[in-house]
Amino acid sequence: MKFKLIYPKWEKLDRQTPFILPPHGPVVFGATLPDYVDVEFIDENVQPIDFDQAADFIGISVMLTAQIKRGWEIADIFRKKGIKVIFGGIATMLHAEETQGHADAVFLGEAEGRMEQVFADFKAGKLQKVYNYMQDFPPIENVGTARRSILNREMYNYRGVQMVDLVHASRGCRFNCYPCCVNFLGGRSFRPRPFDKVIAEMASIDNNRLFIVDNSLAQDKEWEMGLFKEMIPLKKKWCCHPIEDDDKVLDLAAQAGAWFVYQAIFDSSDFIRDRIKRYHDYGIAVEGSILLGLDYHTEDYIKKLVDFLLEVELDMAEFTVLTPFPHTRTFDDMHNAKRIISNDWNDYTCGKVVFQPKLLTPEELQSLYYYAWEKFYEEEPQTYKMFKLLKNVMEKEKLDGTFKQRVRQ
């Protein structure tokens, strides 16, 4: 059976240097498919979709709200040709009802152990309209090594340098941050994968540079230290979301090859200053995620925050505008207060103001977003800071003999 799995394109963050990482959800999903399924994967961010090419069944995998409308367009085209379409992935769960109007089936939840049934239903002509496994998580041991062979890996490089490969060591998150929908998606409890499976998966990846995409590694100190200890012999270099702020953990992370972290920066406190310094003390670079548009943000506040980021020598910064994504507390509050000014999901890129800020006008916040990107990268442009980050990893690799020339001609 020929199954075409599509990852729709979306508009990238305005002002950020464009780079495209290999998708993660589709390759993890790919590992859950029955053996008889012949899967072809198309990432529309790097290659066009051939709507005339034959396929028995279409799967659409969507991660972001900003992808969903394009997903619907693609589905409508295939369905007009009489080909059945199933949707899955994060944005399907967040936009389940709306998506049903464009799909023969929507799959909600995690796919491990569930695809035999879905494909058997398809073959029998009995596809269900909705497969709802929300908050009904399969055993975490069932998460297998992602099927990266479906990727056209040549396409994922930045100026010839191979991009990181994505991998995850856990699901769920025990925190419940204001703008985040992860509790709705992956549950409130932390679900770590067994170490042996994670290490075997990492070892199998033909790339020394990884992105461990777990929501936050700082969920369980013992587990985190155990993971880093197991990773040391692999000599991989990796980036991730936050690491526990603890000397022992940071030391092990550095030994295990920590390269840089994505760290949320919400103010200019000494706490944040020390947090960045401690990462730097262990040779770990920091890419800040800075959310603009919180209720206490004024022009002065945002400008001082950018000055602070330069002063603490943050390695990279990613500025985003607070966005009321469905199934978040932000959405409920903004919706109840009638503060949402755009309901067009294509605007939900995190680079556009779609709500009425409290102490600024939407236009003022939008120009402060541009100000932040421009001011932060005024003296050292993004490409230069990215080069410094690459230099950092190459130096680490040269030290332990894992450096390989990766630039393609």
Binding partner of residue 107 among ligand SF4, ligand B12, none, CB cut-off 5 to 8 Å per kind: ligand B12
Binding partner of residue 186 among ligand SF4, ligand B12, none, CB cut-off 5 to 8 Å per kind: ligand B12
Tally Cβ neighbours within 10 Å of residue 62. Answer: 28
Pairwise CA distance, residues 170 & 382, whole Å: 31
Site string for ligand SF4, 127-166 (x = CB under 6 A): ----------------------------------------
Using CB under 6 A as the binding rule, whether residue 173 contacts ligand SF4 is answered as: yes
Give the residue from 118, 135, 91, 136 showing the smallest Cα distance to 34.
118
Using CB under 6 A as the binding rule, whether residue 12 contacts ligand B12 is answered as: yes
How many helices (DSSP H) and strands (DSSP E) are in the chain? 14, 16
| Alpha helices by DSSP H, 115-194 | 115-123, 182-186
Among the candidate windows 173-181, 284-292, 296-304, 343-351, which touches ligand SF4 by CB under 6 A? 173-181
Site string for ligand SF4, 199-238 (x = CB under 6 A): ----------------xx----------------------
Site for ligand B12 in 171-200 (CB under 6 A): 180-182, 185-186
Using CB under 6 A as the binding rule, whether residue 349 contacts ligand SF4 is answered as: no
Return all residues near 269 (Cβ < 8 A) that are at least 6 apart.
none
- Sort 294 into a burial class: Cβ within 10 Å, 0-12 / 13-18 / 19+: middle
Using CB under 6 A as the binding rule, whether residue 189 contacts ligand SF4 is answered as: no
* DSSP character string of 62-93: --SHHHHHHHHHHHHHHHHTT-EEEEESHHHH
Select 169 or 232, whichever has its Cβ closest to ligand B12: 169
Pairwise CA distance, residues 375 & 33, whole Å: 47
Using CB under 6 A as the binding rule, whether residue 175 contacts ligand SF4 is answered as: yes
Residues near ligand B12 (CB under 6 A) are 12-13, 16, 21-26, 28-29, 59, 61, 63-65, 86-91, 94, 107, 110-112, 166, 168, 180-182, 185-186, 213, 215, 289, 318, 320, 325, 350
